[in-house]
């Protein structure tokens, strides 16, 4: 027998023995192997940790599993992305985990790289993978291991770059340190905090288990693999990516999986943590029996570990576990918050709400909570206290009504959460269901679930609206915002602040939609309403003034925008002390607006203050910090400090890439700004591959029919034009023009830019007739949007006039050139260079028509300026 077969036979035999043992005996078995054969121990521990339910790796032959393990060991020293694999630290059914270090020289970083087993790749899975990776990368919580990036290796294996976390898993740590009951509960509450945060971010884990909960550096819990199993499921045969021992009944049955599934897993983990035994460990020797037991709710009775001695009201802990592990999701806690409240109630000797319990139980909890005080009181006073407790209990019963309302709200939140879990394909049909499809389905169900409570319905619509906008579903975003406003307007009890909030949201909707004028009208109504109702200094007013500033900024009304941003900042200062994000973003926009006002030194002061505040709030890399770096790059471009600008935009790109990877629009924005700066530095050849990559990314994320694709096509064309590669420039300007026709409203002035640029290409090639056609098309678009005298119209009049001048049509050329010059004269300082160019062109045109007087006049102006 070969050495490999002998090694495999030993591994296979040991693994079969291991899976037949109880959880406690598994630990003892592995401890014995650790002393004799550490390598075998690590292989067995990794295989045991793997998700045998979800992945076909356990359906292939044993030698092929061994080959995968052996081959991944050989990857040490190789590179994935910007990282070199240093150490293989774990393996399981989903793949291998490596410790890796960054080697691109940008900064020192140690990460974990999870290299998944190969999956069948198709466009749907790739799209799903990138979308989910972007959502998960935004999870930023002290008890969640950060997902930095992800992608595909050259041999098409998915991988994830994650925060490096060292330590034992939750159960191992608690047992090794012999932690007390309260210390175990404290660690579990950290887990709950992380899961609650994720649920509020509309993300469920769906594979919670002790192996995914690491106690980092002996004190801080870190949750691993948020959403990773879900992403892998999308590339599989729908078998369900979860660990059976911690799976909820609905996960096994593949029905209505959502945030409540995480609550079930928390219940299982909590019972295992406190009792020392998994609730279903008696069924571990047969997977089908384990499934049946979970589906029937046949867990072992809760029994607190004897290590903790006699614990008063231990039955409370049993009730908490039981409540979390109910077969029907609707019978569990409505949220992680509810479960957390019961756990804290136990710790503080308050009644838990997991069960409706008699007055005698609640009074006992009260007496225990206050036993020191009660021991000094006489019997009569105790009787009075007992009567007080009775009435307190009655009030608690009435609170249940409010709790039912809260539960209904949590159910709606679960509905929204499910939208972002990407769905069960059995529901959506053969194709991968998208987040947009799920949102639409959720929207249909929303009215049914909240029909008897229009106020709640309006509130949930208002929550859905910005999500639609963020997904680029502007019609749905506007529809939900308008519906929420309509409902609240029809209710007699809607308070002015809620109405103002709805108006501001509508304003934001029109802003996203590009209808800035309407956005401004609505936000002004919101401002007026708040003022009339004594809310002129409310936090809602600050939010509204900030949105008003955005509308004014996009309309080019920079002085008014400046006032609005500053007013918002002043109100925020009354609510928050620096450093604060609302203060920092207000400072940022004051600075951004000052760039457009030409006050570059003042703009730099505000942007630097915003940057410093954000650096106090967050560790780098961070998206907010990257956002301000990008604007500092733009600022220095305006100042002509292109080398400094390049440093800022590259730092913005580095941070966004570290957090989001390449496949995110914010990263693309920094890539585009980097390329634009390189062109300004005369390095267009370096800019071209960057722009080409941005097009690939945007096509992958949004498709060619998105506005960003057109805008970046135009930018790539600019790079080619600067290198005098006119055929390539023409190709991408035409792509931009075609894209803008589809993606933009007819009144969007950006429609003109590709035609003006196509005119420049044709003129550079000597095709003046074609150039004139394009120039006139651009002028026609601008004249249909702007009033006479607008700088954009003047710019088009100048290009038409100069093209006619080159063609020898002097009288008509003079007509266009004079109009352009007159418009520019309204702001001589800002248009100094354009006026100088026009003076020279007019001198040439009048000279050609033998009008020496006019020619001399304009020559004189040109030479004097």
Range(s) of the chain covered by CATH 1.25.40: 420-492
* Residues in contact with 486: Cβ distance below 8 Å, sequence separation at least 6, in sequence order: none
Q: Cβ distance 144 to 190 under 8 Å?
A: no
pLDDT digits (tens, 9 = 90+) for 804-830: 999 999 999 999 999 999 998 888 877
Residue 217: predicted pLDDT: 76
For 364, phi and psi rounded to 5 degrees?
A: -60, -40
pLDDT value for 347: 86
Q: Say if residues 322 and 299 touch (Cβ distance below 8 Å).
A: no
In this predicted model, what pLDDT tens digit does every residue of 101-155 receive, in sequence order?
Answer: 998 877 778 999 988 766 544 555 566 566 656 666 667 788 888 877 788 888 7
3-state secondary structure of 100: strand
Query: Average pLDDT in the 474-492 region?
Result: 85
Which conformational region is residue 217 in: left (phi greater than 0), alpha (psi within -120 to 50 degrees), or beta?
A: left
Cα distances (angstroms) measured from residue 778 to each of 598, 718, 765, 859: 26, 17, 19, 29
Residue 11: enclosing H or E segment and its boundaries?
helix 3-19
The mean pLDDT of the chain is: 80
Q: Of 717 and 666, which is predicted with more confidence?
A: 717
**CA distance readout (Å), 771 to 265, 468, 730:** 67, 41, 12
- Which tokens hold the place of 702? 């949004």
Report which of 842, 853, 851 is spatially closest to residue 820, judged by C-alpha positions. 842
The phi-psi region of residue 87 (left if phi > 0; otherwise alpha if psi is between -120 and 50; otherwise beta) is beta
pLDDT for 397: 47
In this predicted structure, what is the pLDDT of residue 451? 62
Q: Is the model's pLDDT at 375 over the cut of 50?
A: no
Nearest one of 485, 493, 498 to 458, comparing CA atoms: 485
- The whole-number pLDDT of residue 138 equals 65
What's the number of CA atoms in the CB half-sphere (13 Å) around residue 103?
A: 12
pLDDT for the residue numbered 412: 45
pLDDT of residue 516: 76
The C-alpha angle 748, 751, 753, rounded to 5 degrees, equals 125
Residue range(s) occupied by CATH 1.10.510.10 in the chain? 50-57+69-355
In the predicted model, is pLDDT for residue 529 greater than 70?
Answer: yes
The Cβ of residue 301 has, within 10 Å, a number of other Cβ atoms equal to 8
Instruction: State the Cα–Cα distance between residues 653 and 670, nearest whole angstrom.
Output: 5
* Per-residue pLDDT at 685 exceeds 70: yes
Q: How many whole angstroms separate alpha carbon 274 and alpha carbon 322? A: 13
**Interacting residues of 299 by C-beta distance below 8 A, sequence separation 6+:** 271, 279, 280, 293, 325
Exposed e or buried b for every residue in 469-480, given b needs 16+ CB within 10 A?
A: bebbbeebbbbb
- Give the integer Cα–Cα distance in Å for 100 and 81: 11
pLDDT of residue 214: 92
- Is the dihedral angle over the CA atoms 665, 670, 674, 679 positive or is it negative? positive
pLDDT at 43 over 70: no
Output the pLDDT for position 227.
52
392 compared with 518, residue with greater pLDDT? 518
Banded model confidence at residue 63, pLDDT cuts 50, 70, 90: very low
CA–CA separation, 223 vs 209, rounded Å?
A: 9
The pair of three-digit structure tokens given for residue 101, joined into one six-digit string? 């270090």
Q: Closest Cα partner for 677 from 687, 689, 685?
A: 687
Residue in the structure block whose two tokens are 């997977």: 287
- What pLDDT, on the 0 to 100 scale, is given for residue 557? 86
Whether residue 782 contacts residue 756, with contact meaning beta carbons closer than 8 Å, is answered with no
Question: What's the sign of the alpha-carbon dihedral 636, 637, 642, 648?
Answer: positive
Q: Is the pLDDT of residue 262 over 80?
A: yes
Choose from 63-67, 337-341, 538-542 the range with maximum mean pLDDT. Answer: 538-542
Q: Are 456 and 466 in contact (CB under 8 A)?
A: no
C-beta of residue 845 within 8 angstroms of C-beta of residue 817: yes
Residue 204, both tokens: 């469920």
Rounded (5°) CA angle 499-476-126: 135
Instruction: State how far the Cα of 166 lies from the Cα of 160, in Å rounded to an integer.
Output: 17
> What is the dotted CATH code of the domain comprising 420-492?
1.25.40
Cβ 497 vs Cβ 464: under 8 Å = no
pLDDT at 66: 42
Say how far apart CA 271 and CA 292 lie, in whole Å: 19
pTM of the model: 0.48
Whether 430 has a pLDDT exceeding 50, the answer reads no
* Close Cβ partners of 397 (under 8 Å, ≥ 6 residues apart): none
Q: Please report, for residues 485, 490, 543, the alpha-carbon distance to residue 528 in angstroms, rounded to integers and kept in the order given.
A: 17, 20, 14
Alpha helices in 641-767 (DSSP H): 642-660, 665-680, 684-701, 707-722, 726-743, 752-764
114 is in an annotated binding site: yes
Residues 368-393, mean pLDDT to the nearest whole number: 43
Sorting pLDDT into bands at 50, 70 and 90, what band is 748? Answer: confident
Question: Averaged over 723-731, what is the pLDDT?
Answer: 95
Q: Give mean pLDDT, residues 41-52.
A: 57
Q: Which residues pair with residue 161 across a beta bridge? A: 113, 149
Per DSSP, the three-state class of 598 is coil
Model confidence over 564-618: pLDDT tens digits? 999 999 999 999 999 999 999 999 999 999 998 889 999 999 999 999 999 998 8
CB 365 within 8 A of CB 350: yes
Question: pLDDT tier at 337 (50, 70, 90 boundaries)?
Answer: confident
Cis preceding-peptide flag for 621 (omega within 30 of 0):
yes
pLDDT tens per residue, range 616-635: 988 888 889 999 999 999 99
Residue 113 bridge partners (DSSP): 98, 161
How much is the pLDDT for 499? 92
Please give the residue that has the higher pLDDT: either 709 or 19: 709
The top-scoring range by mean pLDDT among 70-74, 465-469, 638-642 is: 638-642
Biggest CA–CA distance in the chain, Å, is 119
Q: What is the dihedral of CA 391, 395, 397, 399, to 10 degrees?
A: -170
372: confidence class by pLDDT, cuts 50, 70, 90: very low
- Token pair belonging to 534: 């004594």
Categorize the per-residue pLDDT at 233 as very low, low, confident or very high, splitting at 50, 70 and 90: very low
391-400, 408-417, 460-469 — which one is most confidently predicted on average?
460-469
| CATH architecture type of domain 50-57+69-355 | Orthogonal Bundle (1.10)
Q: Where are the beta strands (DSSP E) in 153-212?
A: 158-163, 167-169
pLDDT of residue 161: 86
H or E segment and range at residue 484: helix 474-490
């Amino acid at each position: 027998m070969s050495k490999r077969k002998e090694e495999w036979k030993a591994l296979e035999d040991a693994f079969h023995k291991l899976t037949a043992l109880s959880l406690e005996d598994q630990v003892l078995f592995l401890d014995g192997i650790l002393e004799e054969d550490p390598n075998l121990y690590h292989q067995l521990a990794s295989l045991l940790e793997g998700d045998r339910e979800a992945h076909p790796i356990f359906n292939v032959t044993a030698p092929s599993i061994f080959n995968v393990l052996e081959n991944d060991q050989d990857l040490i020293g190789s590179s994935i992305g910007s990282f070199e694999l240093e150490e293989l630290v774990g393996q399981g059914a989903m793949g291998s985990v490596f410790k890796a270090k960054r080697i691109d020289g940008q900064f020192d970083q140690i990460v974990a790289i999870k290299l998944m087993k190969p999956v069948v790749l198709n466009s749907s899975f790739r799209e799903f993978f990138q979308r989910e990776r972007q959502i998960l990368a935004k999870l930023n919580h002290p008890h969640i291991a950060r997902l930095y990036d992800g992608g595909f290796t050259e041999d098409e294996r998915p991988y994830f770059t994650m925060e490096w976390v060292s330590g034992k898993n939750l159960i191992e740590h608690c047992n090794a340190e012999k932690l007390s009951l309260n210390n175990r509960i404290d660690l579990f509450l950290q887990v709950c905090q992380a899961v609650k945060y994720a649920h509020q971010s509309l993300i469920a884990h769906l594979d919670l288990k002790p192996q995914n909960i690491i106690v980092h550096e002996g004190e801080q819990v870190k949750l691993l693999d948020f959403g990773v199993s879900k992403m892998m499921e999308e590339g599989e045969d729908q078998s369900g990516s979860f660990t059976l021992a911690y799976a909820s009944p609905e996960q096994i049955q593949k029905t209505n999986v959502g945030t409540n599934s995480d609550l079930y897993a928390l219940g299982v983990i909590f019972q295992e943590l406190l009792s020392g035994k998994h609730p279903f460990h008696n069924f571990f020797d047969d997977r089908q029996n384990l499934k049946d037991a979970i589906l029937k709710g046949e867990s072992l009775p809760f029994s607190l570990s004897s290590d903790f001695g006699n614990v008063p009201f231990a039955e409370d802990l049993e009730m908490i576990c039981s409540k979390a592990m109910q077969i029907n999701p609707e019978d569990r806690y409505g949220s992680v918050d509810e479960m957390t409240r019961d756990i804290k109630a136990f710790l503080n000797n308050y009644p838990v709400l997991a069960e409706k319990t008699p007055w005698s139980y609640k009074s006992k909890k009260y007496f225990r909570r206050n036993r020191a005080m009660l021991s000094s009181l006489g019997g009569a006073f105790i009787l009075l206290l007992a009567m007080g407790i009775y009435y307190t209990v009655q009030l608690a019963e009435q609170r249940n009504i409010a709790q039912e309302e809260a539960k209904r709200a949590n159910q709606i939140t679960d509905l929204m959460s499910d939208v972002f879990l990407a769905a069960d394909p059995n529901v959506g049909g053969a194709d991968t269901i998208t987040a947009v499809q799920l949102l639409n389905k959720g929207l249909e169900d929303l009215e049914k679930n909240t029909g008897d409570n229009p106020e709640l319905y309006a509130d949930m619509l208002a929550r859905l609206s910005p999500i639609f906008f963020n997904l680029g579903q502007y019609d749905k975003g506007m529809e939900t915002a308008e519906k929420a406003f309509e409902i609240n307007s029809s209710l007699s009890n809607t308070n002015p602040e809620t109405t103002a909030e709805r108006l501001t949201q509508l304003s934001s909707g029109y802003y996203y939609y590009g209808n800035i004028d309407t956005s401004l009208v609505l936000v002004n109504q919101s401002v007026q309403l708040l003022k009339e109702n004594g809310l002129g200094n409310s936090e809602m007013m600050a939010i509204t003034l900030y949105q008003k500033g955005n509308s004014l900024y996009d309309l080019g009304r920079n002085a008014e925008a400046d006032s609005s941003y500053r007013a918002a900042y002043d109100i925020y200062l009354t609510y928050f002390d620096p450093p604060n994000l609302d203060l920092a973003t207000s400072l940022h926009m004051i600075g951004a607006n000052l760039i457009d006002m030409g006050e570059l030194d003042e703009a730099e002061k505000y942007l630097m203050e915003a940057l410093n505040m954000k650096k106090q709030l967050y560790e780098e890399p961070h998206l907010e910090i990257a956002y301000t770096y990008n604007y500092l790059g733009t600022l220095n471009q305006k100042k002509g400090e292109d080398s400094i600008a390049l440093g800022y935009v590259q730092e913005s790109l580095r941070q966004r890439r570290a957090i989001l990877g390449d496949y995110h629009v914010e990263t693309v924005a920094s890539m585009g700004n980097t390329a634009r700066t390189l062109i300004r530095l005369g390095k267009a050849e370096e800019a071209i591959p960057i722009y080409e990559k941005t097009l690939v990314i945007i096509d992958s994320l949004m498709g060619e029919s998105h506005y960003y694709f057109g805008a970046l096509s135009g930018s790539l064309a600019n790079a080619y034009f600067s290198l005098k590669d006119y055929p390539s420039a023409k190709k991408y300007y035409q792509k931009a023009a075609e894209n803008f026709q589809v993606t933009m409203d007819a009144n969007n002035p950006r429609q003109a830019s590709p035609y003006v640029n196509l005119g420049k290409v044709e003129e550079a090639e000597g095709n003046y007739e074609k150039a004139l056609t394009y120039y006139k098309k651009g002028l026609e678009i601008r004249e249909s949007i702007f009033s006479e005298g607008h700088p954009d119209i003047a710019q088009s009049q100048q290009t038409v006039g100069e093209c006619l001048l080159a063609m020898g049509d002097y009288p008509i050329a003079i007509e266009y050139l004079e109009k352009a010059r007159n418009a520019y004269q309204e702001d001589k300082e800002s248009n100094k260079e354009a006026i100088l160019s026009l003076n020279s062109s007019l001198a040439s045109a009048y000279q050609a028509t033998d009008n020496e007087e006019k020619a001399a006049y304009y020559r004189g102006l040109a030479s004097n300026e």
